[in-house]
Amino acid sequence: MRYVGREEFEWECDLAQKALQKYSNGKKYNNEVVQNVLRQIYHGCCAYCEGRVEPTAYFEIEHYYPKTKYARWRTEFKNLHYACPRCNRLKGNKDPKLYHILSPNYYYENGTWLAKLNEIDESVFYAGHKVFARTGSQMGKGTIKVFQLNERQSLWIDRLRRYAECYYLMNVICGLLSKNSKDVRELDSTLQILFGQLISYTNPSSAYSTMVIQNFGDEICKLLKVWQFKRKEKSICERIRKKLFGC
């Protein structure tokens, strides 16, 4: 699970909120405008398990504060999230306050909606392909339990597969970079492809990107620095590295 910022989608969020106010049928929160904006914000990944949802299944609009208990927020866009059918059903109408469930971004506190950027990182983390709650974090424990993030076999196997892919790519890249500078320059196109694939797994549109970053982010950064040093020139890799990892 990761924090999903909506700041860069301010115009789209306003558009979705207006669409929610416009429609008046019984399920007015589930209209095409809202669906498209949520898909864009969450990059096609479930807000809770980070798995890719489409095109193999239909995504569902999840109410962080259940619409059956918080009717006034049924059509509040900040309360709506992009979720896979499994996560949406597991959460159901559970009250996040009682079950200690993390939100991907917004919480309603003291009469206003607040985006908590660090709440998720301070509550859960990845070690390998598994998710763990940080010491003393009830929110972390509650979220992992409700969504069965380590119990759903298809989910953890999919994460393990992605972890293994990254581990393999890292080993191949390490092997190529261990050669002398001349050989590395000759293998430049191969390294570009390998780094491109590895870095693509850190993109928000890629499933389990948080797991990849937390497990491999520092090492990817170091390998990019080694590659740049052996090429003896600045390159697009440096810009990519700084943009993604700030290193």
Condensed to tens digits (0 to 9), the pLDDT of residues 106-147 reads 999 999 999 999 999 999 999 999 999 999 999 999 999 999
Q: What is the pTM of this model?
A: 0.89
- Amino acid at position 99, single letter: Y
Helix, strand or coil, per DSSP, at residue 108: strand
Lowest mean pLDDT among 57-71, 119-133, 177-191: 177-191
Cis peptide before 204 (omega within 30 of 0): no
Burial of 219 (0-12, 13-18, 19+ CB in 10 A): middle
Paired residues of 81 in beta bridges: 62
pLDDT in tens, 11-53: 999 999 999 887 655 567 788 899 999 999 999 999 999 999 9
Could you give the CA distance from residue 188 to residue 238 in angstroms, rounded to a whole number? 14
CB atoms within 10 A of CB 156: 19
- Whole-angstrom Cα distance, residue 239 to residue 236? 5
Whether residue 213 is predicted with pLDDT greater than 70 in this model: the reply is yes
Is the preceding omega at residue 55 within 30 degrees of 0, hence cis? Answer: yes
pLDDT band at 180 (very low <50, low <70, confident <90, very high): confident
d(CA 159, CA 211): 8
